[in-house]
Chains A and B, each alone.
Chain A
Amino acid sequence: MSQSDRSSRCPFTTLQTACQQTTSQKTKPQKTKPQQADDRQAGHPPTDPPSPAHAERRRFLKGASLTGLGLGLGFTGLGGACPARALAATGHGEDVTSAPQQQDAELRYPFHGEHQQGIVTPRPATGMLVAFDVLARDRDDLEKLMRVLTERIAFLTQGGRIPERDPLFPPPDSGTLGPVIAPDGLTVTVAVGDSLFDERYGLASARPKRLQRMEGFPNDALDAARCHGDLALQICANTLDTGYHALRDIIKNTPGLLMVRWKQEGTVPLLPPAPGDIDGSARNFLGFRDGSANPDGDDEALMDELVWVGRDHDEPAWAQGGSYLAARIIRNFVERWDRTPLNEQETIFGRRKMSGAPLSDGAAEGREQDVPDYTLDPEGKITPLDAHIRLANPRTPATEKNRILRRPFNYSNGVEANGQLDMGLLFLCFQADLEAGFITVQRRLDGEPLEEYIKPVGGGYFFVLPGARDDNDYLGRSLLAATA
């Protein structure tokens, strides 16, 4: 697809409609007829399954919370600022964990909505999790914190010119992104930890039912300095610079309210579009594609079942629209892994390393997207019963409810005392039910052969607050109201 093709496909009238949906837009719009017509123009027969380009356009439409169309309105308004450029269709990038393929600085995701951003949003090239102790002295302070967070995130994710100030004073912005902040695909997702529901703020009665302090699993070696927190921010963007800028902005604007407890950033490799490329999940530092078989973030019904807390999830009413975040810092022993035979690596995972295809008995190598049929392999002759992907997702009717939406990043922190690289996976996953989701999956994985090469050292469980609906709403409002 040529560049001109892409720009000519920008459905202007639909855009304007999307502009008006700042308060109630769904994170993912349904497939619409004009888009199918678009596909025909691009040479896709209408009977084709939705192409990756198609998915990109859908994201764009859903992301377009617009107040205008490039008329210089990219200022500091909290609501919809205008993307100067549309999210260009790339012909790639179907799932949340598909390898990112573009670094468009004008990529802008809507802040307001039923759900927070940064969950079903396609994963960009960089992400970090920052856990905080909340220093707020009382509920009023806590409300102030939530309002400030909301206001800063609304600004940072939409971008705009930074305020100036009398140069005799410290500048209000770090300036690390220059005078105009590009949204750069930034999302900031706010989640709260179990400890926020202690005696300090009177929230105990509203604690989400599955929210708990993360306990060590048998293979864990948890470092207290990198565990838990009253509040966590997942900050994702095309570049780490944008994430760091957002973090520093938030720290500067919340003195006396937040104290950083730990932070872990990571990246996923960009996959430049290439002719004939197969859409694939980005690779982790073990060299395997990570995110295969992730539930489809575009499937709203599935997300309502697996990711978003809804009426049917037996949670407090205030929590509807939220989600559970399980975060894990998982060290990879990469030197040892690199000294492990390929066959063993693939057997441990249950996938081919290069293609990401599930193991099969046929001569022809499959694709990452192929679905293994374990009913044909009850004894694990093709995919061992303790292979990572088979334990994580046995693909039985009974285990469908245990599926989680993964959104991990690779991290590299430096060097251990033994001269080995401190690298691994910042594992992030979202689910409507923490017990049925991450905790159940991890229990199935306990004792897996992969454990010899990995060591979880930190992380925590958090509850992602419901989204802020509009300019009058703020993150955490429903929680505070429920305990007023």
Chain B
Amino acid sequence: MKIPKPCKTSKTWIAAGTLGLLSVTATAQAAVAPEALVGPVADYKLYVLDNLEQLVTHTEDFTAAIEAGDLAKAKALYAPTRVYYERIEPIAELFADLDVSIDAREDDYEQGVEDPDFTGFHRLEYGLFHDASTDGMKTYAQGLMADVEELDSRVQALTFPPETVVGGAAALMEEVAATKISGEEDRYSRTDLWDFQGNVDGAREIFELFRPLAAQEDADFVARVEDNFDDVEKTLADYRLDPDDPQAGFESYDEVSDADRRALTGPVTVLAEDLSTLRGLLGLN
């Protein structure tokens, strides 16, 4: 007798109203064996650690420039430093205390910029780009350096939960949908596109690592996600200062046309919807 294959999770919709089975909940029958996830999760940890190493190095240069009072250099290093944080946000956010002190925005505080608890990248952004000065920034710079080093050591010791890793792809696209399209993340430096690309890079890395497993479950899904990633990256590429040099970065977010903001919103929203099903597709809780 032929044993029926486990239901593909994407096919487990229960037609409403059928046969009085409505209260029955479909049980998950993931075709993906848990062991299959070990390799991609380990690879992802290497990716995160590599980015953290870069984050530490870049933060050293960035904060050194501030402490030296070199405004121009500090401004130039702001966005290229943040990128490494934006790529690994799903993991970095696991440490809420550090996420707040490193990456909170003034909107998170009732007293805004004046709030004594407001620290980190965005406090420095306000000083460098709004006040155009490194005055009074030394404490914030030292605090950021200490926080980044602390993050690095905590992540080294962290066991990566597979559901957090896989769910991270969706979390990054939610981040883009909520704060990048609107251009509110880097409102003083207008370097939002750097962060945007960082979030997309981080999401795509996760997706690519698990793509072979996802493709076994739903090849159409994988193709659609690839297409939408390509669409987003293509639009972002139009705003690169030098197409041949990723390090050159992006134009100011002010330069992004309304039409392109809309053109980004479409695939970003579809990615957020699609990637929200990646955990389920891989049978993860």
Q: Is B132's CB within 8 Å of the partner chain A? A: no
Interchain pairs with CB closer than 8 A, number:
76
Residue from A74, A75, A135 with most neighbouring chain B CB atoms (10 Å): A135
Residue from A162, A167, A252 with most neighbouring chain B CB atoms (10 Å): A167
Interchain CB contact under 8 A, B269 and A256: yes
Q: Is B28's CB within 8 Å of the partner chain A? A: yes
Q: How far is the CA of A162 from the CA of B266 in the complex (A)?
A: 26
Q: Which residues of A contact B272 (CB under 8 A)?
A: 255
Interchain CB contact under 8 A, B13 and A165: yes
Q: How far is the CA of A286 from the CA of B15 in the complex (A)?
A: 48
Interchain CB contact under 8 A, B273 and A168: no
Q: Is A421's CB within 8 Å of the partner chain B? A: no
Residue from B27, B267, B269 with most neighbouring chain A CB atoms (10 Å): B269
Q: Which residues of B contact A256 (CB under 8 A)?
A: 228, 266-267, 269-270
Q: How far is the CA of A356 from the CA of B262 in the complex (A)?
A: 47
Q: How far is the CA of A61 from the CA of B276 in the complex (A)?
A: 44
B143 → A minimal CB distance (Å):
35
Q: Which residues of B contact A257 (CB under 8 A)?
A: 266
Q: Which residues of A contact B263 (CB under 8 A)?
A: 135
Q: Is B14's CB within 8 Å of the partner chain A? A: yes
Residue from A135, A137, A168, A256 with most neighbouring chain B CB atoms (10 Å): A168
Q: Is A312's CB within 8 Å of the partner chain B? A: no
Q: Is B164's CB within 8 Å of the partner chain A? A: no
B202 → A minimal CB distance (Å):
20
Q: Which residues of B contact A167 (CB under 8 A)?
A: 25-26, 28
Q: Is B16's CB within 8 Å of the partner chain A? A: yes
Q: Which residues of B contact A179 (CB under 8 A)?
A: 22
Q: Which residues of A contact B285 (CB under 8 A)?
A: 168
Residue from A74, A135, A169, A179 with most neighbouring chain B CB atoms (10 Å): A169
Q: How far is the CA of A170 from the CA of B272 in the complex (A)?
A: 12
Interchain CB contact under 8 A, A166 and B262: no
Q: Which residues of B contact A255 (CB under 8 A)?
A: 266, 269-270, 272-273
Q: How far is the CA of A163 from the CA of B11 in the complex (A)?
A: 12
Q: Which residues of A contact B270 (CB under 8 A)?
A: 255-256
Q: Is A11's CB within 8 Å of the partner chain B? A: no
Interchain CB contact under 8 A, B267 and A164: no
- Per-position 1/0 for B1-31, Cβ under 8 A of A: 0000000010011111100001011111010
A224 → B minimal CB distance (Å):
11
Q: How many residues of B contact A (CB 8 A)?
A: 32
Interchain CB contact under 8 A, A164 and B265: no
Q: How far is the CA of A297 from the CA of B263 in the complex (A)?
A: 41
A356 → B minimal CB distance (Å):
45
Within 8 A of B (CB), among A72-98: 74-76
Q: How far is the CA of A255 from the CA of B262 in the complex (A)?
A: 12
Q: Which residues of A contact B54 (CB under 8 A)?
A: none
Q: Which residues of A contact B28 (CB under 8 A)?
A: 166-168
Interchain CB contact under 8 A, B279 and A164: no
Q: Which residues of A contact B30 (CB under 8 A)?
A: 168
B277 → A minimal CB distance (Å):
5
Q: How far is the CA of A205 from the CA of B238 in the complex (A)?
A: 32
Interchain CB contact under 8 A, A160 and B17: yes
Q: Is B284's CB within 8 Å of the partner chain A? A: yes
Q: Which residues of B contact A166 (CB under 8 A)?
A: 9, 12, 26-28, 280
B179 → A minimal CB distance (Å):
16
Q: How far is the CA of A246 from the CA of B269 in the complex (A)?
A: 19
Q: How far is the CA of A172 from the CA of B12 in the complex (A)?
A: 12
Interchain CB contact under 8 A, B266 and A165: no
Residue from B17, B262, B267, B279 with most neighbouring chain A CB atoms (10 Å): B17
Supposing A164-B26, A259-B265 touch, asked if A169 and B17 sit within 8 A by C-beta, the answer is: no
Q: Is A161's CB within 8 Å of the partner chain B? A: yes
Interchain CB contact under 8 A, A164 and B25: yes
Interchain CB contact under 8 A, A163 and B15: yes
Q: Is B283's CB within 8 Å of the partner chain A? A: yes
Interchain CB contact under 8 A, A76 and B16: yes
Interchain CB contact under 8 A, A137 and B283: no
Q: Which residues of A contact B276 (CB under 8 A)?
A: 170
Interchain CB contact under 8 A, B266 and A135: yes
B139 → A minimal CB distance (Å):
34
Within 8 A of A (CB), among B27-85: 27-28, 30
Q: How far is the CA of A167 from the CA of B29 in the complex (A)?
A: 11
Supposing A255-B270, A256-B269 touch, asked if A162 and B284 sit within 8 A by C-beta, the answer is: no
Within 8 A of B (CB), among A159-197: 160-170, 172, 179
B9, B13, B15: the one within 8 Å of A168 (CB): B9
Interchain CB contact under 8 A, B273 and A252: yes
Chain B: CB-nearest residue to A252: B273
Interchain CB contact under 8 A, B280 and A168: yes
Interchain CB contact under 8 A, A161 and B266: no
Interchain CB contact under 8 A, A165 and B26: yes
A158 → B minimal CB distance (Å):
12
Q: How far is the CA of A259 from the CA of B247 in the complex (A)?
A: 32
B14, B281, B284: the one within 8 Å of A164 (CB): B14
Supposing A75-B16, A161-B16, A163-B16 touch, asked if A169 and B9 sit within 8 A by C-beta, the answer is: yes
Q: Is A446's CB within 8 Å of the partner chain B? A: no
Q: How far is the CA of A13 from the CA of B277 in the complex (A)?
A: 49
Interchain CB contact under 8 A, B16 and A259: no
Within 8 A of B (CB), among A7-27: none
Q: How far is the CA of A133 from the CA of B258 in the complex (A)?
A: 11
3 smallest CB-CB distances across A and B, nearest first, come from: A75-B17, A169-B280, A168-B280
| B-binding residues in A (CB < 8 A) | 74-76, 133, 135, 137, 160-170, 172, 179, 252, 255-257, 259
Given contacts A163-B15, A166-B27, A168-B30, 13 further A-B contacts (CB under 8 A): A135-B265, A135-B269, A160-B17, A164-B16, A164-B22, A164-B26, A166-B9, A166-B280, A167-B25, A167-B28, A168-B284, A168-B285, A169-B280
A-B contact pairs, 22 of them (CB 8 A): A75-B16, A75-B17, A76-B15, A135-B263, A135-B265, A163-B13, A163-B14, A164-B13, A164-B25, A166-B26, A166-B28, A168-B9, A168-B279, A168-B280, A168-B285, A170-B276, A179-B22, A255-B266, A255-B273, A256-B228, A256-B269, A256-B270
| A-binding residues in B (CB < 8 A) | 9, 12-17, 22, 24-28, 30, 228, 262-263, 265-267, 269-270, 272-273, 276-277, 279-281, 283-285
